[in-house]
Structure 1
C-alpha cells in the first residue's frame, strides 16, 4: 500500500496541534490522530500563561528557547487569530509573581538576580518591584497587607488556553490537514519498505514520517520507534471563581483573570501519579494565599475545582529528538505547551518539514538522561 500521508502527528493537544498547524499547507498530506476528551490532557489544566521569568534557570538552552518563543508570540497570535477567526484573548502586558513577607521577597530577588545574570546578551527582562512601586504602576489593584512586592517579567503574558487549542485545530483543518479523534493510538510500526503504520483502535493509517506529541502517552509510544523518553505526571489542582469586576490588570503566576471576568487560582504541583482527585487541603491552601494577595476575593464564590496532569521530564526541560533506529520518527514532549506554541508552529515545524532538527535543539535530546553519574 502506498503511504497515505506525508506526516502523521500523534496527539492533537497543545503541542501536537501547534506542530500540525505549522506543518499544514502547501502540498503536504497531513493527519493528526487523537484520543478521547476523557484522556489525560494537560491542556485541561493549563493556566494560560505565556511565561518567561524563571524558566530555564541553570538551563541556558531552555531559557533562550522560552525567550525566543515569547518574542514570537505577538506575530504568531495575530496570524492564528486571522486564520482561525477565534479571539485568543492574548495579552503581553508583563506578568507578576507576588511575594508575601520579606522572606519570599528576598528569596525571589536572589532567584531573579541569578536568572538575569544568565542572560548577559540582553538587558534584564525581570525586575523586582517593592510595594510602593507596585501601587504606583498598578493603582487599580487592591493588595493585601502581606504583599511586600513582586517580580515583574516584561515578556510575560496570558492567553485563553482553550481558545488557543481550538484555534490551532481550526486553522490546521482550514489548511487542509485531516484529523482523526476519539481513539488513542496504540501502535506505531515501522514498515519494511519505509515509513510507518499508525494504529488507533480499528483505524490504521500509513505515513512516510511520524511525530509523537502525545504528552504522557509518549512514554509508551516513543519506545515503539526507538525514542524512549522518561516522563511522569504531575498533578495540578485549580480553582475558578464566579465572574467579577476587574481585579487584575495583568497575569500572575498563581492568579489570572479571564476575559470573561472569572479568576483562576492555582496551581498545585503534586506527585500523585495518575490520580485526578481534588482535595480540600489543596483548595484551602490555594484560596488562603489568593485572599492574602487580593482581599476582594474573600467574598467571591468558587464555582469549580478540578485537577489535571502535567507532562514532566526528569529535569523539567523539553525533549525534541529524531530516532536513530527508525529514521523519520520524531518526538516532542514539554510541559510549556502554551508558551512554546509559537516555536512548535514556527521553527520546529519548519525543521520537521525539512527532515532535520537544527543543532540548537541538540541539548533537548532525550539521551541527556542516560548520562551515568560519576
Structure 2
C-alpha cells in the first residue's frame, strides 16, 4: 500500500483535473490518476467553447449550473493563468449560433424564448440578430447568402482546451497534488475501517475519499462503490484549417477561430458506439456548412481531421452523486468539461472537501433516470 491521501481522483481529463485542482486548493492531500495514452479521452476533441446559450434546454437545473459556471469563468481564468503561468487564450466577448434560412431563424427565436422563460431571474444575455443587425454588429465579416441571422449570447466565450488542461494540472502540482500518468484505475475496494484502496497495475493507493471522473470508464468503476450512473459514447469529428487572417471575431457553435489563427470546424453528433474512425462524409458536411456561413473559408486548406468520444448521460445533462452505500465515494460526469471547469474547480471541489454535495445538485443525481416523474 502506497502513501495515504485524503482524495484519489480517478481520471485526469478536464473534469478530474479541475476537481483535483480545487481539492488541492482546499488543502486536501490529492492523488490524480491518469489513464493510458490510448484511452478514450473526450478532452482530445474538445471544441473549447465556454457556453451558456441554450445550455440546459429542457433542464432548468443544468441551465442554472451553466449560467453560474459562466459567471465564475473570468475570475477563474485569471487566477489559473497567474498560478500556472500558462496563457489560456480565454475570451468572453460573446458567441454566435448561426441560422441558415428564415425558418431556422424563427425556430431558434422561439426556442430561446422558451429557454429564457424558465429562468426569468437570470440575465442570460441572449439577443436574436436578423441579417441586417448581424452585419451591423460585425461589419468586417462577410456572411454567406443563406445566413438569415444569428443568436448572440453575450455570456458565451471560448478558450484553448489543451492549454486549459495543462494549466489545471500544472497548478494542481504547484498546490502539492500528486499526478501519476499511465496509471488507469482498475479496481476500487472499500476498506473495512473506512476509506478505499485503489489499484492501478501493481500499485495500490489508499484514501479516505475517491472521486470517479473517468468519463466512459466510469461505467466500470462506479458500481464498485455503489455508483451505477449510466453513460454512453457519442462520436464527434472536428476539422481544423491552416492559420488564417482574422475571420470571425467571436466563436460560433460550429466555427471557432483559435488564438493561433486556425479555424476549427465541427462538430458531429454520431451514435456509433466506440468507433473512432474519421469519415469523408463528416468532413464534407462540416465543410459545406462552414462555407455557407463564411464563404471566405472556401479557399482555406484543411490540415487535420480527428474524432473523439463524448461522455453522454441518457438526457445529456451532468451527473453528480455520492454513494449511499460507501461513504466518501463520489462520481462526476458531464460532456461540458470546459464550460463547467470553473464550477468543478471551485464550488464542487469545496463541497467535496466538506463532505457533502450542495442541495441544488440533488436533481442532477443519476437516480433521475430510474425514478418516474410525477404526473
- TM-score range (shorter-chain normalised) is over 0.9
| 1:187 maps to 2:194 | no
Structure-2 residue corresponding to 1:300: 300
Partner of residue 104, structure 2: 104
The equivalences for 1:1-374 within 5 A come to 4-25=4-25, 27-372=27-372
User: In 2 relative to 1, CA 317–27 (structure 1 residues): closer, same or farther, beyond 3 Å?
Assistant: closer
Which sections of structure 1, spanning at least 5 residues, go unmatched? none
8 Å Cα contact 1:3/1:208 also seen in 2? no
Q: CA deviation at 1:183?
A: 2.7
Mapped partners of 2:235, 2:174: distance in 1? 34
Aligned partner of residue 24 in structure 1, secondary structure: helix
Q: Closer, same or farther in 2 for the Cα pair 1:3/1:202, shift >3 Å?
A: closer
TM-score by length of 1: 0.98
Q: What is the distance in 1 between the residues matched to 2:347 and 2:26?
A: 17
Q: Which runs of 5+ in 2 are unaligned?
A: none
- Tell me the secondary structure at the aligned position of residue 71 of structure 1: helix
Deviations 1:152-199 (A, max 9, x none): 011000000000000000000000000111131110000111110111
Report the alpha carbon displacement of residue 26 of structure 1 after superposing the two structures with TM.
5.8
Task: State the Cα deviation string for residues 6-48 of structure 1 (Å, max 9, x = none).
Answer: 1100011000000000010464211001102221011011000
Distance 1:62 1:125 in 2: 17
The aligned length equals 374
Deviations 1:41-100 (A, max 9, x none): 110110000001111112111000000100100000000000000000000011000011
**C-alpha RMSD over aligned residues:** 1.2
TM-score w.r.t. the length of structure 2 is 0.98
SS at match of 1:78: helix
- Deviation per CA, 1:303-354, whole angstroms, max 9, x where unpaired? 0000000000001110000001010000000000000000000000000000
* Aligned counterparts of 1:166 and 1:37: Cα–Cα separation in 2: 15
